[in-house]
Amino acid sequence: MHISDILMYGHLTVQRTVETFPAAEVGTAGACGYWSVKDLVAHLGSYELVLVDILDGFINPGSPTPHLEAFIRPDYNFNDEQVNQRQGMTFAEVYAEYQAAHAQVRDLAAQIPADLWQQSGALPWYGAAYDLEDFIVYTYYGHKREHCGQIATFSDQFKGRPQ
């Protein structure tokens, strides 16, 4: 498996999906439950920030990991709380945050030694049988594909409307 390709293709899926969605409708609820496309991008951006913390922790052990700590905290509703924290941001700001975090992910991923990607148990809170590569495929690539499918389906209702 080539982790750089997995990261790239997941990101390209988000870019293509978001950039073809009707701009006037990014704040319309219903893309995923009560979330809008803006909310979904905020959600994906918050996940990218978690991955920044994870990867940076391998490169700089002991570095602060506030996003990861929130993500794994059992008494914290990470998804809704992270989206709520970005309610005051514009769609452009939320998308820029996602893009910047993804750029950090790509830079950090390039610094991770090849053998670490397939080291079972590298993320003890995720499960002893899983490795970092598994986590990226399931929690990032699959997650992006799932939400982009929801966005694409949601966009169907706006076809034929003036922009």
Domain coordinates in residue numbering, the chain:
3-17+34-157
User: What is the Cα–Cα distance from 21 to 158, expressed in whole angstroms?
Assistant: 9
- Per the prediction, the chain carries an average pLDDT of 95
Distances (CA, A) of 54 to 60, 98, 154, 163: 10, 16, 32, 40
For residues 40 and 79, give the distance between their C-alpha atoms in angstroms, rounded to a whole number. Answer: 10
Question: Which tokens sit at 134?
Answer: 């598994």
**How high is the pLDDT of residue 76?**
86
CATH of 3-17+34-157, one of 3.30.40, 1.10.287, 1.20.120, 1.10.3210: 1.20.120
Instruction: Assess whether pLDDT exceeds 90 at residue 155.
Output: yes
What is the model's pLDDT at position 29? 98
Predicted confidence at residue 160, as pLDDT, reads 75
Q: Pick from 134, 133, 123, 128: which is nearest to 54 by CA?
A: 123
162, pLDDT greater than 70? no
